[in-house]
Structure 1
Amino acid sequence: METLDIKGFPVETHIAGSGPPLLYLHAEQYVEQVRPHLDALAKTWRVIAPRHPGYGAAAGAADLRSVDDLAYLYLDLLDELKLDDVVLVGASLGGWIALEMCVRNRARLSKLVLVSSVGVKFSGREERDFADLFYMSDVEAFPMLFADWQRHAPSYAAMSTGQLEELARERQMLAHYGWRPYLHNPGLKRWLHRVDLPTLVLWGEADGFAKPSYGQSLASALPNAELTVVREAGHYPEIEQSEAVIRAIDAFVQR
């Protein structure tokens, strides 16, 4: 893990591998559980995986308040590293950031992979697209987030104080970036026609947080997207079915 200076913002970034560039934008929580997935991706790709400001050891910048800000930050990161033909992968919150990036400037990007992405409102005003994590207890939330929650959900009793504090910061930053309105940009649907990169939408078949029907709506709303459903996975297939996700990404990029 190294800290990059991106126009004055310190950005903790995991960089590994020596293949074609892949920018990985992590989900809103359980960031450390994705490390084995990044290591596996690095066998084929040069993986650049920043931590969103406020996550990890780097402090969040006071004037980075929204997903829009993160989108501009990571576009600056691509410029700073002089990366081209980048495969952009975003998981959940990271998928929302990736969509906002593509709406603004996709010049350095070649393909887009959205893993259980949030960010777009498809249902009516009084309907929910995403379950309310802040309302539910973990007993209610874990079965919605994981197909096999007893195996993959965090066990608080086995965690160190530092790990527990990190989970608490993740929940805090989820509220910081995605609370008002909850996990979506009301205007983003209008601009999805600008996301004209070849796009793979990956979705866990057991996702109860954002159901596979939402993934189908997202794929249908994008100009050049296809949907692949990952079996035996919930909202975080990169944790539960890492190998299947990597196979799907590799096959998509090779096509």
Structure 2
Amino acid sequence: MSGTEAELAEPTIGTEVGIAHDWAGSAAGPVTVVLHGGGPGCHAASDFAAVVARRPGRRWLRVDLPGYGGSPVTADPGLPRIAAAAHALAGLLEELGPGPVDMLAQSLGGTVALRLAAERPELVGRIVLVGSQPTPAPGGRTDLRTDPALGARARAEYYGGDGPDPAKMRALLSGLEWFDPSLLPKATVQARYRASTTATALAAATTPAPAEDLAPVLGAVAAPALVVWGRHDPFAGPDYAAALADTLPRGDLAVVGRTAHHPQAERPEIVAALADAFLADASLAEAFRTDRS
């Protein structure tokens, strides 16, 4: 199945604890949670469709975070967005009972995964983070190439004016998520546009969430974490990714060339191989580690 075909597939959604989720892959495979990014129209079945299709032997648990896909805008209005999403995800994992699970997470989803790993380490095995920025200054570094307000500006532009349309979605994906816009499939643009105009997506667009800085809790993330970064990510450069990997107690780094903010969509074979090797077992995970002593 191609990445585009997987993106357009209609999942069967459950909502046991207020956030939508579905399963893909082999029932006998290791459980891996998929968490999507925070851009307009992002949801679990789309962000990693091509990677999931290339690794059918895993048991993929695809989760829509509050305000995305089939999930309501917030699962816990008394908490900030990241904390509420981590709380809802913990509830889902407790209800489903798969034991400690690995996570493959993009951008916003990676920040949620890190928050969960810091607060509920018994629920998390290993984490692959793609383009995630859980803090504006990892390790206290203020000299990094980063644009923490870019996401908010892009969202305001997309939903502003006359509102969303396919041309604005293509411009957003071309400018932020794909290094080579000529490779961007029309079906991907249409799928993301449709997902960005659902009642849930429109409600989320009018409910802005303040930024949350996870710097105080990153040192508590005991799970091994592989930071995967697009070489041309406009949100932050590889220097940010390296600083984040250094900040995480068991952090590693892989930079993927010729990609921007969504390397898993533009070069899914590379991201699938990196994730598969890192998540396969502890010995392979150790192979990625760099001696920073």
* Short-chain TM bin: 0.7 to 0.9
Choose which of 44, 52, 55 in structure 1 pairs with 2:65.
Answer: 52
Match of 1:173 among 199, 204, 215: 204
Q: Is contact 2:229–2:241 with CA below 8 Å preserved after alignment? A: yes
1:134 and 2:135 matched: no
The one of 190, 211, 232 equivalent to 1:159 is 190
RMSD over aligned CA atoms reads 2.9
State the alpha-carbon separation in 1 of the partners of residues 60 and 49 from structure 2: 11
Q: Structure 1: how far apart are the matches of 2:182 and 2:157?
A: 17
With over 3 angstroms needed to count, the CA separation of the structure-2 counterparts of 1:213 and 1:10, relative to structure 1, is: closer
* Structure 2 gap ranges (5+): 1-10, 159-167, 285-293
* Alignment deviations for residues 92-151 of structure 1 (CA, whole Å, 9 cap, x no partner): 110011111111101022211111112212165xx8335232366754773343111232
Superposition pairs of residues 1-40 of structure 1, within 5 angstroms: 1-7=11-17, 9-17=18-26, 18-29=28-39, 30-31=42-43, 32=46, 34-40=48-54
Q: After TM superposition, list the pairs within 5 Å mapping 1:183-222 onto structure 2.
A: 185-186=212-213, 188-222=214-248
Match of 1:149 in 2: 181
Percent identity (aligned): 23
- Give the distance between the partners of 2:205 and 2:38, measured in 1 at CA: 6
Aligned pairs for 1:93-132 within 5 A: 93-122=108-137, 128-129=147-148, 131=150, 132=153
* Distance in structure 2 (CA, Å) of the matches to 1:21 and 1:173: 29
Q: Which has the higher strand share?
A: 1
Aligned partners of 1:62 and 1:47: how far apart in 2? 22
Could you tell me the TM-score, scaled by structure 1's length? 0.82
Q: Equivalents in 2 of 1:224, 1:33: separation in Å?
A: 25
Identify the structure with the greater helix proportion: 2
In structure 2, how many angstroms separate the alpha carbons of the residues matched to 1:54 and 1:15?
A: 22
Q: Which residue of 2 aligns with 1:239?
A: 265
